[in-house]
Amino acid sequence: MTTIPVQYYLVVAAALFCIGLAISITKRHFIGMLLGIELMLNAVNINLVAFGRHDPERLSGQLFALFVIVVAAAEVTVALAIILRVYGRFKTVDPDKVNELKQ
């Protein structure tokens, strides 16, 4: 069984991370920014899994990736609740237009 070198995974994860970064900078929508953040978290998970491949006894990398997934789920729920509140108050989802704490 031929195995893929760890550098290949790292390059793919780096590309995915940078795409996520560009998405979260360029999108003019709160949920678009969230999509970018999710892609970045996934890219980090690929790195952790790729290195965790060489630790078959303890699997620290995969466990860390599992906790990252859990934290991402918690983050998305709270972020969506905040976005819905902001939308209800400001009637917009453009981050440039939401610049006041109290309207």
Site string for another protein, 42-61 (x = CB under 8 A): x--xx--xx-xxxxxxxx--
Cβ proximity to another protein, 2 vs 100, nearer residue = 2
Site size with another protein, rule: CB under 8 A:
72
- The answer to whether residue 101 forms part of the interface with another protein (CB under 8 A) is no
- The answer to whether residue 17 forms part of the interface with another protein (CB under 8 A) is yes
73-95 as b/e: b if 16+ CB within 10 A: eeeeeeeeeebeeeeeeeeebee
Residue type, 77: T
- The answer to whether residue 98 forms part of the interface with another protein (CB under 8 A) is no
Distance CA 7, CA 21 (A): 21
